[in-house]
Amino acid sequence: MSDVPKTHPRYLSLSLRDTIVTGVEQGITSVHGLIAHGRGEAFDYLIGEATQPFAIEAIHAAAAMLRLAEHPVISVNGNVAALVPEGLIELGKLLNAPLEVNIFHTETGREQRIQEYLLKHGALDVLMPTTDAQLSYIDSNRKFVHPEGIFKADVVFVPLEDGDRCEALRKMDKAVVTVDLNPMSRTAKQASITIVDNVVRALPLLCEEIQSFSDPTAQETLKKYNNEAVLQEALRHISRSGNGNQR
Ligand code: ATP
Ligand code: MG
């Protein structure tokens, strides 16, 4: 990483910034992804840059939902490909679920570069958007999906998602599990399960939870889960941190 010493109090945050910048330089992450990352950083600061109990609760429900899914699919954009390629691949293997590239800004060749990057990191198969299958309720490029992937999915894992697409997936009766540091984003509010945490912390925990998942009452866990209450708890936590209780 650049010349930030490991002892710097913001070392981890700054090293993630470097990872995203490298993603842009490699043509994997869009330059717009830097702005999304910055927004995430601000919320991460507010939640204390640590996985909080409301995220743990959502991770447990997400593990149940993904375990019970018949056809789960993992949607990959340029930010998550740069930040957590191994985590996405591991999740795919644990669930026997395909990864599918789906991005908003389609600079020439970026989708292919993301696909190659994931394959290089050990992904077995990475689905690409096609014109054969399209999502309804959405006009952007993100409506193009793979017929055997997102189009067919009953549960879609879409970390760092844009609100429009989350809404379209929900209207198509698909369950959505997202990771989003902003509990107020449209995605956070519309998803079935929102893990309010940094994807670099949440994904390894989700994989661990799925691996050791042994909840005989998974259906019950899901029935009892209340995403709105989890988001409210995240907001309460943020407002408490504003009162100086956190750092
Ligand atoms: P929405 O469209 O859902 O209202 P938005 O327009 O504010 O959200 P987008 O750029 O569409 O933001 O989506 C990116 C989201 O990802 C933001 O809510 C941002 O806080 C979040 N985010 C960015 N980096 C991370 C990260 N590393 N981990 C988790 N969430 C992140
Ligand atoms: Mg958005």
Closest C-alpha to 177, from 213, 153, 145, 212: 153
Tell me the best of 47, 182, 193, 197 to mutate to test the pocket of ligand 1, counting ligand atoms within 8 Å of each CB and taking the most. 182
In a domain, 119, yes or no: yes
- Whether residue 17 lies inside any domain: the answer is no
Position 46 in a domain = no
The CATH number for 144's domain is: 3.40.50.12640
Residue 245: pLDDT above 80? no
Structural domain contains residue 197: yes
Q: Is the pLDDT of residue 8 over 90?
A: no
Instruction: Please check whether residue 81 lies inside any domain of the structure.
Output: yes
What pLDDT score was predicted for residue 213?
A: 85
Q: How much is the pLDDT for 247?
A: 46
180 Cα to the center of ligand 1, angstroms: 6
Instruction: Please check whether residue 93 lies inside any domain of the structure.
Output: yes
CA of 186 to the centre of ligand 2 (A): 8
Write out pLDDT tens, residues 36-71.
999 999 999 999 999 999 999 999 999 999 999 999
Asked if the structure places residue 1 within a domain, the reply is no
The ligand 1 site (C-beta within 6 Å) comprises 36-37, 39-40, 43, 83, 160, 162-163, 179-182, 185-187, 198-199
Q: Check residue 244 and give its pLDDT.
A: 58
Domain count, the chain: 1
Domain carrying residue 168 = 53-241
In whole angstroms, what is the distance from residue 63 CA to residue 214 CA? 10
78 C-alpha vs ligand 2 centroid, how far in Å?
14
Q: Quick check: is 32 in a domain? A: no
In the predicted model, is pLDDT for residue 246 greater than 80?
no
C-alpha 163 – ligand 2 centre gap (Å)? 5
Q: Cα–Cα distance between 50 and 198 in angstroms, integer? A: 8
Whether 224 has a pLDDT exceeding 90, the answer reads: yes
